[in-house]
Chains A and B, each alone.
Chain A
Amino acid sequence: DTAVSQTPKYLVTQMGNDKSIKCEQNLGHDTMYWYKQDSKKFLKIMFSYNNKELIINETVPNRFSPKSPDKAHLNLHINSLELGDSAVYFCASSHLRTARDTQYFGPGTRLTVL
């Protein structure tokens, strides 16, 4: 009965590779988010989708491309991985379109780029 799930939990890869992280929520929420938490534990929003529509796109390299096949899924694809991409990536969801209500977070994906 997991609310927000992410796969994989850990991802170790070489520089230059392309990888994807998947996220699914079973809460019936309309909005999903991707956050990045760096080594200093600082959490920053990357993207937000509402009903498959991109509504927030922070200053993120275009190597990062979110994909929302339906409102319950928001995947993150990363091309040409760099060392600085190493971080924990969190998916979240909320009922409302914006950050006006409680956000529910997934367990995170720890990405290590070697």
Chain B
Amino acid sequence: KQEVTQIPAALSVPEGENLVLNCSFTDSAIYNLQWFRQDPGKGLTSLLLIQSSQREQTSGRLNASLDKSSGRSTLYIAASQPGDSATYLCAVSGASGSRLTFGEGTQLTVNP
């Protein structure tokens, strides 16, 4: 059974810092890994999707890496802004791509 763990559970940083969020998963036989953002009282917004054959994906100030063999992914946020404050969720889909298993998220606060 796939298990996804995110560290840290919460993170508070001053504006402008570069930061890294970590995600680990127990079964390396995945189809893809996705990073989502959840704002309070809102749904999830997809940030990046990395296929199992890829090593990283970039979108603006966000960069996600994937090391499938070690069961790890990181989300790098450059030059953080208060608007980046949200909960960031990592999710992996099984080898057949059948379903997403989510981590519990990292709650990020960027202070002005």
List residues of A whose CB falls within 8 A of some B CB.
Answer: 4, 40-45, 48, 56, 90, 92, 96, 98-108
Query: Which residue in B31, B42, B99, B102 is a CB contact (below 8 Å) of A56?
Result: B99
26 A-B contact pairs sorted by A residue (CB < 8 Å):
A41-B87, A41-B104, A41-B105, A42-B102, A43-B102, A45-B100, A56-B98, A90-B43, A92-B43, A92-B44, A98-B96, A98-B97, A98-B98, A98-B99, A99-B31, A99-B32, A99-B94, A99-B97, A99-B100, A100-B31, A102-B34, A102-B46, A107-B41, A107-B43, A108-B41, A108-B43
List residues of B whose CB falls within 8 A of some A CB.
Answer: 31-32, 34, 36, 41-46, 49, 87, 89, 91, 93-94, 96-100, 102, 104-105
Contact B42 A99 (CB under 8 A): no
The 5 closest A-B pairs by CB, nearest first: A105-B43, A99-B93, A100-B97, A105-B44, A43-B102
Q: Output the least CB separation between B50 and chain A (Å).
A: 11
Residue of B nearest to A98 (CB): B97
Contact B99 A40 (CB under 8 A): no
Contact B44 A100 (CB under 8 A): no
Q: Which residues of A contact B100 (CB under 8 A)?
A: 45, 99, 103
Q: Output the least CB separation between B91 and chain A (Å).
A: 8
Q: Which residues of B contact A108 (CB under 8 A)?
A: 41-43
Residue of B nearest to A9 (CB): B41
Residue of B nearest to A106 (CB): B43
Q: Which residues of A contact B44 (CB under 8 A)?
A: 43, 90, 92, 103, 105
